[in-house]
Every structure is written in C-alpha cells, then in structure tokens.
Structure 1
Amino acid sequence: MTMTETLAPTAVVHQHITDAVKAPDLIRLDGNLVLARFETMKVYAALGAVRELLRRGTVRPGQTLVDSSSGIYALALAMACHRYGLRCHIIASTTVDATMRAQLEILGATVDRMPPSQDLRLDQERRVQRVRELLAERSDLHWMRQYHDDIHYLGYRELAELVSTALPSAPLTVVGSVGTGSSTGGLIEPLRQRDPSVRLVGVQPFGSITFGSEGFSDPEAIIAGIGSSIHFGNVRHELYDAMHWVDFRHAMAGAVGLMRDHAVFAGLSTGATYLVAGREAAANPHRTHLLIGADTGHRYAERVFARHHEALRPDGLRPKEITSLHDLAPPWSAMEWQRQPYSTAGKDGQAWKGGQS
C-alpha cells in the first residue's frame, strides 16, 4: 500500500508560512524505505522553542533573539520571529550563501557573516565568540543556544505524532544526520515512549568531534548541519543504536543517487543519510526505515549537483564495519553504538551487521 493510499489528501489554509513548510512530504522510496522530505526541518525546533520562551515569559514580543547558524536554523528562526513579532540577529557561517542572506534580511533579520574559511572549527568558534561579544554589549538579547538548550527538542513532538499516524504498523528505524542532536533526539524520544524498540541510526561526517572522528580531515566539504568541531550539549549519545561516518564523496553519491532514482532534490546531509538508510533497509526488510531529509539541495547546486557526472554509484558502496572507534576510517565506517554514553562506546561494542532486529 502506498503512502498516497494510506493518507487521504486534505486541503488546509495555513495562518502563516511556518505552518506550511514545517511538515514534511512523506515519500515511499522503496518497500520499507520512506523519506520525510522537508523544505526547512528546523522550523519545528525554532517554533517550539520560541513558543515555549514566550509562554514562560523568558522573552517578550519585540525582543531580539540571537544565534549562530550554518543556514537552515537561521531561516527557521527568522521565520518564527516574523510570526511572533520578535527581532532576529544571526551570526552566519561561511556556508551561508547570498540567496539565504537575502531571505534573512528581507525577513527583518540582521546578519553578521563570518569571513570565508575551510576550517569548520575556526568558523564555529568565531561565531560563538561573536555571540558572546554581542551579549556583553547588549542586555536586550536572548541567546537561543540551538546547540545546547534542549528547549529545541520540544517542537519535534508534533513530528513524532505525524510519524506515528503515518507509519503505525511495522517496526520502525529512524535514520538521520546528528547535527545539533535536537532533530533526531526530539523525534526519537516521543516515538520510544510509544515503542521502546524504535531504532535510531545517526550519520556523521569525518572531522566531527561529536562521535569521535575529529582526527580525520575531509577537505572537499564542510557538510553543514550534520557534524561539529565543538561540543554540542543537545547531542545525547545514548539515544543512538548505530552510527555511520560518511565522507563528502559518498554523501555526494547519495544526493545525486536520490535525485536520479527518485527525482528528489535534497541537501548533502540527506544524500549521506539516503546512502546509510538504503544499506540499513536492505539488511532489515521487516522494519520500516524513515529517512530524514532536512532541507532541499539548492545551496549545494554548484558544489554537488553541477558535478553529478563525477558522482559514485551508490549501489557499489559498502561501509567498513567496526567495533571500536580506534578502527574508524574513511570513506565510510559503521558501528553498533548500542545506546551508550560517549565515554563507554566503542570499547567492547558489537560489530555493525546492518542493524539489529
């Protein structure tokens, strides 16, 4: 049965654009592989956080919210501020392009953009330092702290309700890029309240500190929104059942493959996740696999899609199965994380075998 047959179409008149863009399109890519395709997934995080801050009285209409972002969260926060009469100031990563900056400015946000850098750690550290400088200068600012404040988990409960309604029967595996930790964490926690067996498979780039790959360099890409070179307090390592580390070339293969095979134009993190989800789905045919596609592919048009003739074919790619972080190696490694804290993972873990039942 297809998703179209399962979910009857409905016509809704939305009160604000955030309601229209937050919910994903659910697309069955294969028998047990479903894509949740978002225009801007982090609208869930921004709306949930802003509404809660207003409810608590922590912020008031007209106040300025400030945060650092590589692009997706910046737009989501600017849209949430537009909806609720708040001001917005973004410390923008070097990955924020002219198109994104124009949207932010038209929405009324002010933008500080960091100087060009191929060093993800330097870019992130500069952004955080700039936020701290602004907070020292101005008492009216509220720092959203998307990397550390778990208020960003709240909005994803609505997404969990949608997923539970759309995919009610088969055992479920969620596959998503880790990033700040809020999207996968905020989705998996309410899903596991209903069914503790729901698996969570995370995706990381090489060079990210979050799951121990900071000793590697992937000079071709800064994969925005998937990894980090600084500690993110919102990442709860013990939520993840398995972890995959994917390099730029493999993420590119997934992004181009998703477009070629299913006509879906999605971002580079979605490409990496598509590659991983396909592997997991093939190994576990009795489970439904929900692939999180956080944004569209527009900001990767030149760096990825214009180079589609260079892309590897996903069908021939396989991960290196590891039992310890000591064995981690590019271009693609996979490991059963077993819902462990970071301090204990990778010491005596079971080898990745395509997932567990």
Structure 2
Amino acid sequence: MRIVNRLSELIGDTPLLALCRTGSGSRLLLKLEQFNPYGTAKLRMALSMVLDAEAGGRLRPGGRIVESTSGNTGLGLALVAAERGYRFTAVVDGHACPDKLRAMLAMGAELVYVTEEGDEELATAAREELAARLAKDSGNAVFTEQHNNPANAEGYRPLARELAKALPEGVDHLIGAVGTGGSLCGTGRELRRLMPGVRLVGVEPVGSIAFGGPGGPYHQSGTGTPPGAPVGALVDYDLIDEGRKVSDRQAFGTCRALARRTGLLVGGSAGGVIHEALHELRAAPPGSTLVALLNDSGEKYLDTVFNDAWMAERDLLDPDVEREVGDLLEEFGSVGAS
C-alpha cells in the first residue's frame, strides 16, 4: 500500500477483469476504469489538459478553467481545480447525470446551464459555444475544449502502456466508446505503436453522427456526437478499423444483465461497449484477446439505467436484450471461467 499526497495520484493502474472466454480460447477482458477516483476514465484526460495548459502558459495561478461537459470530464476537472487552486466552471445541460452535477458542486465548481430545468436535451453545441464565450470574457481563464484538445488523447497513453505491461502476449482487439475520441484513439494510437496488429473498434449510440447515419436523440451519457455538433478533431478515422452503433435499449439492457449475472455495475456507454465486444468475441479468431475500455461506473445511474420506472417511462426496457446478453455470458462462460 502506498501513501499519496493528492487524490489525482491515484489515477491509473486500473485492473483488468476476465469477463468470459470461448471454447476456442478467445477471451474478453474489461479494463475497469471505474477504479479511478470518482469512477471514471475522464480523470486521465482532465489532468492532462490542465497540465498542458499550465505548461503552455495559458493557465496561471488563481485562474479559471471552463469546460462543456455531460458530467465525467467535469468531475475530473473539478478535482484537479480543487487540488491546484483554480476556479472551475462547468457548462452543462439536462442530459447530465444529477449525481455528477452534485459532486461537482461539492468540490466548489460553478454550474452554468444551457437548458431549462426538466429538459433532458443533449445540447453539446450550445454548451461549447457558451463555454468558449465565458472563457474569452474572463481574465486568466482557459476553455479546455475537450473535443479538440490533443492533451485529451495524450492523457490516455499511460492506459495503453498499462495494457502492454499486463498483456505482453498481445491485444488483438481494442473496443471503446467514441465521444471526444480521446480515450479510444489516444489509447489505440499508443497501443498500436507497441502492438502494431491491434484492431480498433469504436462504438457510438444510435442517433450519434460520428460514424454516419441519421442523427437523433439518445440517452447514453458522455458519448457520441449529437446532431448539430461537429465531430471532434480527436476522432481519428484512419486509426479506427470499424465503427459500430448501439441503441439505448441494447446498451442499457447489457448493463442490467451484467449486473444481475456478475454483480458488476457499469455506465450506459460501457454497456454499449460490452454489447458490441460480446459480438466481436463470437466472431474473433481462436486464441484472440479482446479488451473493452469501460470508462464509467454504474453507481451514478441507479436512478436511471437501473431504475425500472425511469426505463419504462422512456420505453427503454427490453427483456429480449437482457436475455440475449445473459445467454452470451452463459455460452462463453462468464466471470471466473478458467
């Protein structure tokens, strides 16, 4: 056991969980980023963006950090701001998880809403426009602009090195959610340098536009690119081998089935990643190692994804999806399989 001086020193070195294994020797491992403080991978990129702003002279002592966030990036920036003596303003909408917003407030963040109370709209474009204006109009302030900030992706290079150290025999498939593109592309770029043969699969919600197709509303939080918002500069199409879309029903049904079968609680976007990873596992060559990046824990979604009334009100309950995922876990041999 080590003693640390700051909570941010606990970022990284998250565990791998062997979820299941096929009869042909292929296996699916889950990179449990929920073991970072506040249960999210976004602390990696939040710290990286702040350190980069300091190094470049854009953020000076006593300054203000401004970011448009649906929650987890805001948690990370609120923590780093509290540790390093900065003010933090989070520009948010009604799509964000209330628990994340309350946690930011507890750490001294200022919340600025772009939607009316009770409106669950995902308003990414409006958030980013306001965040840029607030930073410009404030003295000694920086808009970290997570969707276009290279330091976002740089923050995930250590994650790739963790995988390479834990799996010296190699990773064949890396599956992750695509929102800003930082986690999958930042990890994947470094991992491909270390393991050139790794295949990258990006996952976004149905309704997100990063991989084409019609845009529309979705409830998966912290992932995807909604209609009207530009695809971030960090989404590297040359790096991603395949883009997949997963519906809210599929993503949330996977979360619920996984919780009941294994006791593991994950967030909605992580459910989408696992849904696609299970299907990728079925088609993988014998002896393959698949790693799914799980960027968020499920405890923040007890009032939504894991709440029958909330799910039913939005017509998101789908027993068929939950049954399908449960059958796949049973077919492959779930947690604890030898």
Q: TM-score range by the shorter chain?
A: 0.7 to 0.9
The aligned amino acid for 2:119 is S
> How far off its partner does 1:85 sit?
2.1
Cα distance change of structure 1 residues 278 and 55 upon mapping to structure 2, 3 Å threshold: same
> How far off its partner does 1:59 sit?
1.4
SS of residue matched to 1:233: coil
The aligned amino acid for 2:245 is W
What pairs with 1:180-329 in structure 2 (closer than 5 Å)?
180-213=180-213, 215-218=214-217, 221-229=218-226, 230-231=229-230, 232-284=232-284, 285-307=286-308, 310-314=318-322, 316=324
Tell me the alpha carbon deviations over residues 99-144 of structure 1, each in whole angstroms, 9 at most, x when there is no partner.
Answer: 3222212212111123243443xx1122123213313432321010
1:346 counterpart residue number: none
SS of residue matched to 1:252: helix
What pairs with 1:14-29 in structure 2 (closer than 5 Å)?
14-29=4-19
1:36 counterpart residue number: 31
Task: Write the distance in 1 (CA, Å) between the matches of 2:296 and 2:236.
Answer: 22
SS of residue matched to 2:320: coil
Task: Write the distance in 1 (CA, Å) between the matches of 2:183 and 2:175.
Answer: 11
Tell me the alpha carbon deviations over residues 291-326 of structure 1, each in whole angstroms, 9 at most, x when there is no partner.
Answer: 111111133223221228754345637xxxxxxxxx
Task: Write the distance in 1 (CA, Å) between the matches of 2:188 and 2:290.
Answer: 13
Cα distance change of structure 1 residues 279 and 98 upon mapping to structure 2, 3 Å threshold: closer
The aligned amino acid for 1:224 is S
Matched, 1:117 2:119: yes
Tell me the alpha carbon deviations over residues 63-90 of structure 1, each in whole angstroms, 9 at most, x when there is no partner.
Answer: 1010100000000111111222222111
- Runs of 4+ with >6 A deviation: none
Q: Which ranges of structure 1 fall in alignment gaps of 5 or more residues?
A: 1-10, 318-357
Task: Write the distance in 2 (CA, Å) between the matches of 1:13 and 1:157.
Answer: 24
Contact 1:258 1:274 in 2 (8 A): no
Cα distance change of structure 1 residues 287 and 57 upon mapping to structure 2, 3 Å threshold: same
The aligned amino acid for 2:9 is D
2:105 counterpart residue number: 105
What pairs with 1:24-103 in structure 2 (closer than 5 Å)?
24-31=14-21, 32-37=27-32, 38=34, 39-103=39-103
Cα distance change of structure 1 residues 62 and 306 upon mapping to structure 2, 3 Å threshold: same
Cα distance change of structure 1 residues 129 and 313 upon mapping to structure 2, 3 Å threshold: closer
SS of residue matched to 1:224: coil
> How far off its partner does 1:226 sit?
1.7
Task: Write the distance in 2 (CA, Å) between the matches of 1:19 and 1:197.
Answer: 32
The aligned amino acid for 2:88 is C
Tell me the alpha carbon deviations over residues 147-179 of structure 1, each in whole angstroms, 9 at most, x when there is no partner.
Answer: 111111111111111111111114421111001
Task: Write the distance in 1 (CA, Å) between the matches of 2:265 and 2:68.
Answer: 26
Task: Write the distance in 2 (CA, Å) between the matches of 1:256 and 1:194.
Answer: 35
> TM-score if structure 2 supplies the norm length?
0.83
Contact 2:88 2:110 in 1 (8 A): yes
Aligned length: 302
Contact 2:49 2:152 in 1 (8 A): yes
1:351 counterpart residue number: none
Task: Write the distance in 1 (CA, Å) between the matches of 2:72 and 2:12.
Answer: 12
Contact 2:249 2:318 in 1 (8 A): no
> How far off its partner does 1:200 sit?
0.7
Cα distance change of structure 1 residues 50 and 35 upon mapping to structure 2, 3 Å threshold: same
Task: Write the distance in 2 (CA, Å) between the matches of 1:172 and 1:60.
Answer: 43
Contact 1:266 1:293 in 2 (8 A): yes
1:169 counterpart residue number: 169
SS of residue matched to 1:227: coil
